Amino acid sequence: MLIAIVFTAAAQEPTNYLRLKGKVLKDYKTTVQVFEYDNDTERWSEIVNKDNRSSYSLRLSTRKDYKIFFQSDRGQSKVIEIKSGSPGMWVEKIDIDFDRINATYLTMKQRGTYNPYEFVTKENCSYTDIAAN
């Protein structure tokens, strides 16, 4: 009976995730809001809301789309859109720099199966610089 419980608990451990973590640079504080897209309802739902952060760490599913909003304590905003990707365990470090104003909206996805996540320029946008380091 004990063995069956151990196997059941292990089967529920998610092994497909993208961990995003980083610092907020230059003494800014940020509110972090994460929205997850639900394909069944075709709606975005807020799943995380953290206030007054100088760093952040998020664990997201590789099978879902997300939008992460960073709002500084001085009124600037940055958005990272995450596209669903390949199964696996991925870790990305992204420091947020609100003083870099060249781009405020970034898209992150995998190019091909089992490739690391990377920033791509958003279609119909002229952003060539990224808002995060």
| CATH classification of the domain holding 42 | 2.60.40
Query: Does residue 88 lie in a domain region?
Result: yes
Query: Does residue 85 lie in a domain region?
Result: yes
Predicted confidence at residue 73, as pLDDT, reads 96
Query: Does residue 92 lie in a domain region?
Result: yes
Question: Domain containing 103: what range?
Answer: 16-120
Query: Does residue 74 lie in a domain region?
Result: yes
Query: Does residue 105 lie in a domain region?
Result: yes
Predicted confidence at residue 114, as pLDDT, reads 80
Average pLDDT (100-115) is 83
For residue 38, pLDDT over 70 is answered with: yes
Answer for the pair 10, 33: CB distance below 8 angstroms, yes or no: no
Domains in the chain: how many in total?
1
Query: Does residue 9 lie in a domain region?
Result: no
Query: Does residue 48 lie in a domain region?
Result: yes
Backbone angles phi, psi at 35, to 5 degrees: -115, 135
Predicted confidence at residue 78, as pLDDT, reads 92
Which amino acid does the sequence have at 54? Answer: S
For residue 101, name the pLDDT band (cuts at 50, 70, 90). Answer: confident
Sort 71 into a burial class: Cβ within 10 Å, 0-12 / 13-18 / 19+. Answer: middle
For residue 26, pLDDT over 90 is answered with: yes
- Taking the C-alpha atoms of residue 50 and residue 34, their distance in angstroms, rounded to an integer, is 9
Predicted confidence at residue 58, as pLDDT, reads 97
Q: How many CB atoms lie within 10 A of CB 78?
A: 24
For residue 17, pLDDT over 50 is answered with: yes
Lowest mean pLDDT among 63-72, 82-91, 99-108: 99-108
Query: Does residue 86 lie in a domain region?
Result: yes
Q: What confidence tens digit (pLDDT) does each residue in 39-86 have?
A: 899 999 999 999 999 999 999 999 999 999 999 999 999 999 999 999
Answer for the pair 18, 92: CB distance below 8 angstroms, yes or no: yes
Predicted confidence at residue 103, as pLDDT, reads 67
